[in-house]
A and B are shown apart, each in its own frame.
Chain A
């Protein structure tokens, strides 16, 4: 193999992917998170207040409680971030605080068990169909 060919080879092998990585960054980030289906990241207030975002694992909770307990009895909305939970509501026994009170489940002093998200992760339902659409869909306009 001549040096000239070798050089072309190097350019092709290294240059093309490099160029591709520069030109289409989206393709390299789309599968960067593998979190469990249904994991909800809640970052309405957390990071603004200096805490990491909250990760809520649906799978863990549905093994222990039926949907109805949280979504009918406790008033959780069917929308990530839609319930507007803050720590005051929790210590007053609402929402997460209905169980995370040291009686049914561990209490609020275990900050980092909920506030366990990677910094900068926005509010979302991880792995949702909406996230998987090739063309990002416009958010539904509230019609039901």
Chain B
């Protein structure tokens, strides 16, 4: 007898449960060891206001008063990772004008225009490290000599070290653009053949001047 009552209520119940099921779809995937993740989960939301960002206390004064990143980023050039802001372009295009000195708004950075080419072991294109973009933001002493010895061939760098927050990873992966599938080629930007050809002609990999 009891069983016959189920079909009558099942319409709404199934609708409700299907909704629950959809909501729990990700957990179902997690439970099935053989599920094929053809589609990765949607990227987490970004540039959320403090009250919704998960690390500010939504009840606190700060969350109510602090600026939301999206507000500040509205006129800045976009990027595909990190803050979703291309900070280097923002500076180049004069969209932001961060001070180089705490007190003196007119202080200018000592920009050094020297590209360092690092030949990499694997199949990836060689790395070109531009001093120019870095010295727009930083002082020599920020990197030299603690993180990088200012001497060719003296620095062992690996992607593993970078991912663990060492070498380039001291900034890249924390505040500067992170290591992601969208950003590999920003550093690995020089096709291999050209370096080999340059070496044959007796040129050093480092080019440019102060």
Q: Using known A-B contacts A6-B10, A66-B98, determine if residue A121 contacts B163 with beta carbons closer than 8 Å.
A: no
8 Å CB contact of B174 from A27, A66, A125:
A125
On chain B, the residues within 8 Å of A98 by CB distance are: 102
Stretch at the interface among B44-52, B113-121, B186-194: B44-52
B57-A34 in contact (CB<8A): no
On chain B, the residues within 8 Å of A9 by CB distance are: 14, 17
8 Å CB contact of B7 from A3, A33, A34:
A3
By size class, the interface of chain B is: 35 or more
**Cβ-closest chain B residue relative to A36:** B69
B62-A78 in contact (CB<8A): no
Shortest Cβ gap from B69 to chain A (Å): 5
A33-B54 in contact (CB<8A): yes
B62-A113 in contact (CB<8A): yes
A112-B62 in contact (CB<8A): yes
8 Å CB contact of B10 from A1, A37, A52:
A1
A36-B47 in contact (CB<8A): yes
> How many residues on A have C-beta within 8 angstroms of the other chain's C-beta atoms?
71
B69-A66 in contact (CB<8A): no
Indicate whether B198 reaches chain A with its CB closer than 8 angstroms. no
Q: Using known A-B contacts A14-B20, A140-B166, determine if residue A20 contacts B173 with beta carbons closer than 8 Å.
A: no
* Complex CA–CA separation, A127 to B17 (angstroms): 35
Indicate whether B39 reaches chain A with its CB closer than 8 angstroms. no
A52-B57 in contact (CB<8A): yes
A62-B173 in contact (CB<8A): no
On chain A, the residues within 8 Å of B48 by CB distance are: 34-36
B175-A19 in contact (CB<8A): no
Indicate whether B196 reaches chain A with its CB closer than 8 angstroms. no
Interface residues of chain B, those whose CB is within 8 Å of chain A, are: 2-4, 6-7, 10, 13-14, 17-18, 20-21, 24, 26-28, 30-31, 41, 44-48, 50, 52-58, 60-63, 65-67, 69, 72-73, 82-83, 85, 87, 96, 98-103, 109, 136-139, 141-142, 146-147, 161-166, 169-175, 178-179
